[in-house]
Structure 1
Amino acid sequence: MSYLGIDLGTSGLRALLVGTDGVPIGSAESSYAVSNPAPGWAEQDPADWIAALDMAVEDLRARYPAFAELRGIGVAGHMHGATLLDAGDAVLRPCILWNDTRSEQEAAALDAMADVRALSANIVFPGFTAPKLLWVKRHEPEVFAKVAKVLLPAAYLNHHLTGAHVADMSDSAGTSWLDVGARGWSERLLEAGEMRRDQMPELVEGCAPAGDLRPELRRRWGLSGPVVVCGGAGDNAAAACGIGALQEGAGFVSLGTSGVVLLARERFSPAPETAVHTFCHAVPDHWYQMGVMLSATDSLNWLSRITSTRPADLTGELGDALQPPGDVRFLPYLSGERTPHNDSRIRGGFTGIATSTDRAGLTRAVLEGVSFGLRDSLEALKSTGADVGTLTAIGGGSASEYWLRLLATVLGVPLTIPAGREFGAALGAARLAQIAVTGAQPAEVITAPETRREIAPDATLAPAYDAAYQAFRAAYPGLKQIQ
């Protein structure tokens, strides 16, 4: 048997074929674009996701005979997106994505309502799904009137695969419609968001079956036997499954487009006042908490664009040996911020620039600013009572040795670097599919990858970076620090 893990990302889709032994066989990728029709808006055509999936599947079929033995599929997707379907399951408008901030007013109004934080376990951020629907009702009433189902991106791909309207708990926890503690749709939250229960998909755990692959797709993909599609997961929950973050305190720090510090929790411990997200994990009776910053490697990519220098070349100029904190300070808020500020309008900036400042100095400032922002998330997580030991470093930014040494020192936490390349959301999704097909216990399948090496904090520079972090916070008293 083989299993297919699909990572539906913001800029592209990745499909990973995994064998019965859990070892990756091969992968395929296909990209698509994000539309920005107005400042702060981000949309995507769901048809592009289907086209990308078709291309990836054809690639896997052509290169890997094991694809013919496919028995399970799991989908991980970027969270919070609003895909609106009419009564005939036709898409009514482009999907409004997670990093779209147009619904700031609607989010604030929802967040101020009684019981909303208590039930949803989170602040209502502008990027969440519920305020998006209120925006549509206010600005596109003709579209809102036709909405029969609201599906998150992963659930929409599940619908394409099975024909059913099914979503998992981890992804649905980011809508502000789910009672995260009870793991079910909340009538009170739906009422607050002016939605109905029949407009929601059915809920299953991420490792449970959500349906069978449609016969039409089985024929097209050259498959003879039945194929189970599991509930799947939101991208971060799936990534946690990929690196084995299931037990209390296990977690990762992700240097992706956005930055994430995530810890698995075996108990429900919400603390929305910290701007920490508390979501259901992809397996029963587990949750996870994470702090999120919106511009992690995106900050480095921005510097890359304006200097016409590849990100790897920018970080390469710094070498591998960690230097003391620089004189230039960078606010990493190019797209607003979640943890701990909850401010979609906050923006970035440099201070301390002098005539002697060169490109390497700006790069150091960007890496330090992002690292300080991630420490904000770690401190917020600690305030919830979470224990932090060693974190696994993942994401594109983890290719930089300098950044890893800097981040370990700023966080004051050892960072483990997994062996091999396959430990992300696509592997996590494939593992969920394997559990759904075989009935295995999650802990038997969701295991940590082999560690290639560990990066410890630099003890000699830790005090200087701790002082620089405190200066980072104290120098901007106007920022909204949520405690």
Structure 2
Amino acid sequence: MADLEDPPVFLGFDFSSQQVKVAAIDGRLDVLHQSIVHFDSELPEFRTQGGVHLHGDGLRVTSPVLMWVKALDLLLDKMKTSEFDFSRVRALSGSGQQHGSVYWRRRASETLSQLDPDQSLHQLLQDSFSVSDSPVWMDSSSSQQCQDLEAAAGGAQRLADITGSRAYERFTGNQIAKLRQTRPEDFQDTERISLVSSFAASLFLGDYAAIDYSDGSGMNLLDISSRTWSEICLDAVAPHLGRLLGAPLPSTSVLGPVSSYFVRRYGFSAGCSVVAFTGDNPASLAGMRLQPGDVSVSLGTSDTVFLWPQQLRPALEGHIFCNPVEREEYMALLCFKNGSLTRERIRNQCAGGSWEVFSAALRDTPLGNNGNIGLYFDTMEITPAAVGLHRFDSDDTEVSSFSARVEVRALVEGQFMSRRVHAERLGYSMRTRVLATGGASSNKEILQVLSDVFNAPVFTIDVSSSACLGSAYRAAHGLVSESGVSFFDVVKNAPEPQLVATPHPAAQEVYPPMLRRYTRLEERVLQQRPT
């Protein structure tokens, strides 16, 4: 056992689409240990590609539940082999890919509470799930159930007002409705329904873990204002569904001590606390230490915008979730499919494949691009639901082409104007700072345009393990949250983001009229879309 004078350690797990990861931090928030298990390569017996199984027409996408269980076995064994001292762990928390669901078979709770430390979790739980392959966030096979739920709620906007989002195929409530309709025997054999996050917490707890408010917001079932299940939504999905879900709890909740299984098998302290697990996106918000008024723009294959809105404005696009670190606050999320791949295509076409030439084009063209605006949707966009390339001159006349340098700036300005316009619709207003992450955050000229369009300073932050780190931070905060200590007091010594760009003095004059024009042009493009 660890000496009482040994500094505490906090663990953060992330059950993501393709792997399970863990990060251990000490009381100073320094990372002490990281481990990872890749599903495809390290668990080939489950025959996944990218951690999932694709079925038939590709609309149905699932992952094997026992693969997640076995991955945790491997992960903890790796930590044990590296002589990680589990006895120093004071608390643990974690995250799971959002919208995935797990269906526990009847009497599985008895198995969870009586785990034999001489056997692996995978062996012990192999008969504990009524559905062996869980639907995950990539699944889009529940369109009919989405229509039914919106109708029951009184329309798409009314459902968004209640749950923070209109009905989405991947959201758990619609997946549950589909399972109940298509596999009634399996549904009848189900004792408890978990999200991936609360399923993972259940493993550590040795009992069914509550769904937390933040991940529960991604189900189309939680009333985000009252933070209780919406009876309208529950009744539309399945009778007595509230019993199968259990009561949701605040994301900062301490669920209880770690199961004796982990104490005896790995040497955890019996006093180690399990803090509620949450979704990977909320955990990333915690890992980035987003504050009120901030916006985070992740510039990856898809661009993702996180924000801490000052006003609650559920809309037909984007998502409002309960905030994972402040009980009465919210977070918003927007996803844009046309991100780095579109930037790379324009780089190849207009800059000879060179980021240096691409960056020079941004430096050599004026803010506002002489009034030229571009909307670039190489593939069907999520926000807004549009496709195609649309170029407009300063008179709002659609044109067939731009010069190479104008094209480069039109792309980057257009993408960031889109990010800002849609963020404002979800409640973004204060211009405190922008946190930039992802591959393109290494390009100074792209970040300068981001700073100018948002009229805010841009900082960069390394979030390669943001969900893990956020979970570890949340584990530390969970122990003291009930005494009134804020999350930001707990993480105040974490490394600060680095300032990389400040807005040009002319930006506050150039972009407001450009943003109004962009909004009108986007609406025009949407009206032209075939129905």
Match of residue 469, structure 2, among 405, 412, 427: 427
Residue in 2 that maps onto 1:395: 438
Deviation at 1:433, TM superposition (A): 0.9
Q: Note closer, same or farther for the CA distance 1:212–1:320 as it changes in structure 2 (3 Å cut).
A: farther
Length, aligned pairs only:
462
Q: CA RMSD in A?
A: 3.7
Residue in 2 that maps onto 1:222: 267
> Aligned partners of 1:273, 1:423: CA distance in 2, in Å?
30
Q: Note closer, same or farther for the CA distance 1:206–1:123 as it changes in structure 2 (3 Å cut).
A: same
Residue in 1 that maps onto 2:121: none
1:54-203 to structure 2, matched below 5 A, reads 54-63=73-82, 65-87=84-106, 88=108, 89-112=128-151, 113-114=153-154, 116-166=159-209, 167-195=211-239, 196-203=241-248
* Aligned residue type for 1:96: P
Q: 1:188-227: per-residue Cα shift (whole Å, max 9, x none)?
A: 3211222511110342222221233222233333334432
Q: Secondary structure at the match of 2:34?
A: strand
Deviation at 1:281, TM superposition (A): 1.2
Residue in 2 that maps onto 1:48: 67
Q: Note closer, same or farther for the CA distance 1:54–1:469 as it changes in structure 2 (3 Å cut).
A: farther
> Aligned partners of 2:143, 2:415: CA distance in 1, in Å?
24
Q: Secondary structure at the match of 1:126?
A: coil
Residue in 2 that maps onto 1:282: 324
Q: Note closer, same or farther for the CA distance 1:213–1:302 as it changes in structure 2 (3 Å cut).
A: farther
Q: Note closer, same or farther for the CA distance 1:249–1:475 as it changes in structure 2 (3 Å cut).
A: closer
Residue in 1 that maps onto 2:29: 22
Q: Note closer, same or farther for the CA distance 1:208–1:454 as it changes in structure 2 (3 Å cut).
A: same
Deviation at 1:46, TM superposition (A): 2.8
Q: Secondary structure at the match of 1:148?
A: strand
Q: Note closer, same or farther for the CA distance 1:401–1:203 as it changes in structure 2 (3 Å cut).
A: same
Q: Note closer, same or farther for the CA distance 1:202–1:316 as it changes in structure 2 (3 Å cut).
A: farther
Match of residue 362, structure 2, among 317, 322, 334: 322
Deviation at 1:430, TM superposition (A): 0.8
| Unmatched segments (≥5 aa) in structure 2 | 1-7, 40-49, 109-127, 392-398
Cα contact 1:6–1:426 (8 A) shared by 2: yes
The answer as to 2:50 corresponding to 1:7 is no
1:453-468 to structure 2, matched below 5 A, reads 453-458=499-504, 463=510, 467=514
Cα contact 1:230–1:436 (8 A) shared by 2: yes
Q: Note closer, same or farther for the CA distance 1:158–1:417 as it changes in structure 2 (3 Å cut).
A: same
1:196-215 to structure 2, matched below 5 A, reads 196-215=241-260
Q: Secondary structure at the match of 1:286?
A: coil
Residue in 1 that maps onto 2:521: 474
Q: Secondary structure at the match of 2:25?
A: strand
| Unmatched segments (≥5 aa) in structure 1 | 308-312
* Aligned residue type for 2:362: L
Q: 1:76-105: per-residue Cα shift (whole Å, max 9, x none)?
A: 222222223322341504222224322233
> Aligned partners of 2:249, 2:275: CA distance in 1, in Å?
9
Normalized per residue, which structure has more helix? 2
Cα contact 1:297–1:397 (8 A) shared by 2: no
Deviation at 1:464, TM superposition (A): 7.8
Cα contact 1:409–1:458 (8 A) shared by 2: yes
